Each structure stands twice: as structure tokens, then as C-alpha cells.
Amino acid sequence: MSSDYVETHALIALSGKPVHRGHVELIEYAARGCDEVTCFVSTSDRVRPDEFPVSGLVMHAVWVKYIEPWLPASVDVVYGGSPVGKVWEVLGNVDKAQQEGTVYIVHGDPEDNAANFPKSSLEKYVPWLLENGWVRTWDVARTRTTEISGTQMREWLQRGEFKMFAAFLPPFVPARELWDELQNAAKTMKRVKKRK
């Protein structure tokens, strides 16, 4: 390896409520193209009006037990906080230190990248990185991975469509176990919400 070799470090922000094949394929895609990958995953509950509530605790356990062991060795998963905020924190720290040698590549769906990491924000918050070519975004269209969204997965959970839900889970995640845990957690979350 020559001394002028430049490392590449993919950064991925995921809510993963619930995790699906597309999430894992995005991480694998990033790992094929970059030396290192850091995936930031939310552990908070996802509760929205008129939408199936997804337990952050259940999903965190699934990531640790089933997903992390499956991922390439170059992938590090960091839990908690705002995934988008954590990406900005990493970039901000590197920008402040003006640390050379690694290109940071934010991987994500084109819409997510446009909303969360637009060029105008990169210019404002990490100008040194941007000016010197140490940061970029990489749009990964859903057509490059399994075309599925968290919204669709939550709709299947809401409507009781287990077979569709199971078909889009990563193959190493036990579908019935996750389905039952999410359904049971949702009942508890709804009861707690009603008491508030």
C-alpha cells in the first residue's frame, strides 16, 4: 500500500423501525466500496399518530443478536441518539481538527441525503472537509437494494400481513419471533400512551 493511499469511511444514519432487507443491503453495499463503515442506529421508539408503533428496545435487541453478527467485519454499529445528528457530530469533529487522510462518504437514499445532508449544510457546517474533498454524499437508490421502506413494513404490521412483512426481512432474522415481539410491544406502548 502506497503512503498516499486515502482511506474511505462510509457513514450511514438509520432509524430502522423496523429493520428490513434494504437497510442491510445498503450497509453491505457501503462495505464493498469503503474501507470502514459506521452505521448509526436509533434506539428510540417510533410512535406516530395513525401508524403502527415500533419499539426501539425490541429493534435494538434484533440488531445486536441477529444483524451485527451477519455484517462484514469492517462495519461498526453505534446505537442511540439521533442517527443524523451523530453523522454531523463525526463530520464536525473531523472538520474542526482538519484531519486529513480519510474521505467520509455519507451513504443513503437520495431523498434522505437531500433532506439531511444537502450541499448547503455541508458548506455551512463542515466547510474545510468539503473544500478539500474529504466529505461527499453517495446516493444509493432503492433500486440498487431491495425496494422496501419502513413505512410499508409498518403498514403490514398494522394490517396483520405477516407473510408480506416476513418476505422483506433480512433472511437471518426470525420473522415470527420479531413479528410477535413487535405486536406485543405495540399493545403495551398503546396502553401506556392512553394513560398519559
Q: Write the pLDDT tens digit of every residue in 11-68.
A: 999 999 999 999 999 999 999 999 999 999 999 999 998 899 999 999 999 999 999 9
Task: Supply 185's cell numbers.
Answer: 410491544
Domain 7-195 CATH assignment equals 3.40.50.620:
yes
Three-class SS of 49-98? CCCCCECHHHHHHHHHHHHHHHCCCCEEEEECCCHHHHHHHHHHHHHHHC
Query: What does the domain layout of the chain look like in residue ranges?
Result: 7-195
Count of C-beta atoms within a 10 Å radius of residue 131:
12
What is the per-residue pLDDT for 172? 95
Percentage of the chain beyond pLDDT 90 is: 87
* pLDDT per residue as tens digits for the range 104-115: 999 999 999 999
Q: Residue range 65-91: average pLDDT?
A: 97
What is the per-residue pLDDT for 142? 81
